[in-house]
Amino acid sequence: MHRAPETDTVWHNGKALRKGYTTGSCATAAAKVAALMVLRQHLIHQVSITTPSGVVLNLNVELAHIEGHQAVAGIRKDGGDDVDATHGMLIFARVTLNDSGTIQLLGGVGVGKVTRNGVGLPLGAPAINRTPRQTIEAAVREAIGPARGAEVEIFAPEGEERAKKTYNARLGILGGISIIGTTGIVTPMSEESWKRSLALELEVKHAAGLARVILAPGNHAERFVRDQLQLDGDTVVTMSNFVGYMIQEAVRLGFSQIVLLGHPGKLIKIAAGIFHTHSHIADGRMETLVAHLALMGAPHDVLLAVSECDTTEAAMTLIDEAGLRDIWPLLARRICQRVEETLRYTRNPPRCDAVMFAFDNQVLGSNRPLADIFAGWPRC
């Protein structure tokens, strides 16, 4: 491979990190070189493409072969220093020439199929997103000229197994990976693609008719919702650390109620007005606890002990021993107030609720009774 040196790296926290390229770029390069090989009837070992962002990639071709009017070529995915579930796997294209004058794009083994609305593709279609579809078709058309036609099958033998490490199943994309990428380039430590995948799950829920949704920091919440609250786990969407972003996406989509649900270790930060909860952005957990405990009239020795805790769990033990469990519903109400403050200029804002639970799955507190929060929600 490669590109101009200045496009190869990105700086993050003082380190130079190597960029990579997307599954969409792999599929585009594989389709282009397979089309060229079937036309020229000889093997090609390197291919050049220009990504949607304008970066030129020179990629090595693997396991190429020609069979008459058909050729197959593989391109190995390289995520750079942003290693994901598809890093290192081969993405193949099989191109078969015909006289139809049109290019037909198919998804083969290891490419997922769309089974739910909301991902921007028709039901039953292969999970090849819009930009890769355009770049694949354009690359093949450039190779075969304006008159010929071609059937282009994208496949990935490892795709079904690799997809188990992605969000695809939650999005209703079954049987394999997605062929994705809007720029063609993977930028290490970029949060945008991660945030977009989380928002896409919200869109799928909305398209399925859900008007109310639970936003949770991690996967543990889905199990808690199902086992402890006896609610349908499909109501849960992971927000990771992107609280503010996911709330805004829920507003954009028109959800009528959002419930922020999780362990205090993450949710406490929202009570302090922190809407990106990763520790490299902000912490303030102990300071927030101490401030609200002081407002409750907690003894000075308890405040001092909590302030010196390294973990939320340690502070929770002290709070429990001091009989100050009322801090949790207090914080839940404060969380909702903070959210409502951010939405005060929003037309028809959603109802916001908050529920905190401990690692032993016991409910610690909520802004109002659980029966009221979840009245009318689908049960499992």
pTM as predicted: 0.74
Mean pLDDT of 276-299: 92
Q: How many CB atoms lie within 10 A of CB 163?
A: 24
At 118 the pLDDT is: 83
In a domain, 378, yes or no: no
At 316 the pLDDT is: 93
Query: Are 221 and 120 found together in one domain?
Result: no
Secondary structure tally for the chain: helices H, strands E: 12, 18
Average pLDDT, the chain: 90
In a domain, 35, yes or no: yes
Query: Are 133 and 257 found together in one domain?
Result: no
**How large a percentage of the chain has pLDDT more than 70?**
94
The yes-or-no verdict on residue 219 having pLDDT over 80 is: no
Among candidate residues 125, 153, 186, the one where a domain is terminated: 186
Q: How many CB atoms lie within 10 A of CB 204?
A: 21
Q: Which amino acid is at 87?
A: H
Query: Are 239 and 271 found together in one domain?
Result: yes
The yes-or-no verdict on residue 4 having pLDDT over 80 is: no
Instruction: Provide the CATH number for the domain around residue 150.
Output: 3.30.2110.10
In a domain, 317, yes or no: yes
At 16 the pLDDT is: 59
Query: Are 106 and 132 found together in one domain?
Result: yes
In a domain, 249, yes or no: yes
Domain count, the chain: 2
Burial class of 157 by CB neighbour count within 10 A (0 to 12, 13 to 18, 19+): middle
Greater model confidence, 33 or 238: 33
At 375 the pLDDT is: 95
Measured N-to-C along each axis, helices 264-271 and 312-321 cross at an angle, to the nearest 10 degrees, of 80
At 12 the pLDDT is: 46
The yes-or-no verdict on residue 315 having pLDDT over 50 is: yes
Contacts for 180-183: CB closer than 8 Å, 24+ residues apart: 180/22, 180/23, 180/24, 180/129, 180/132, 181/21, 181/22, 181/23, 181/24, 181/25, 181/52, 181/129, 181/131, 181/132, 182/52, 182/129, 182/131, 183/22, 183/51, 183/52, 183/53
In a domain, 380, yes or no: no
In a domain, 276, yes or no: yes
In a domain, 278, yes or no: yes
Query: Are 213 and 282 found together in one domain?
Result: yes
Query: Are 175 and 207 found together in one domain?
Result: no
At 120 the pLDDT is: 85
At 11 the pLDDT is: 43
Among candidate residues 156, 186, 216, the one where a domain is terminated: 186
Query: Are 243 and 354 found together in one domain?
Result: yes
Among candidate residues 186, 221, 254, the one where a domain is terminated: 186
Instruction: Provide the CATH number for the domain around residue 313.
Output: 3.40.1050
The yes-or-no verdict on residue 169 having pLDDT over 80 is: yes
Q: For 82-125, write each residue's pLDDT tens digit.
A: 668 899 999 999 999 999 999 999 999 999 999 998 888 999 99
Query: Are 229 and 317 found together in one domain?
Result: yes
Query: Domain containing 20: what range?
Result: 5-186
Query: Are 205 and 354 found together in one domain?
Result: yes
Query: Are 134 and 247 found together in one domain?
Result: no
Query: Are 53 and 14 found together in one domain?
Result: yes
In a domain, 379, yes or no: no
How would residue 5 be classed by pLDDT, with cut points 50, 70 and 90? very low
- Read off the DSSP letter of residue 240: T
Query: Are 116 and 173 found together in one domain?
Result: yes
Contact 140, 152 (CB under 8 A): yes
At 84 the pLDDT is: 81
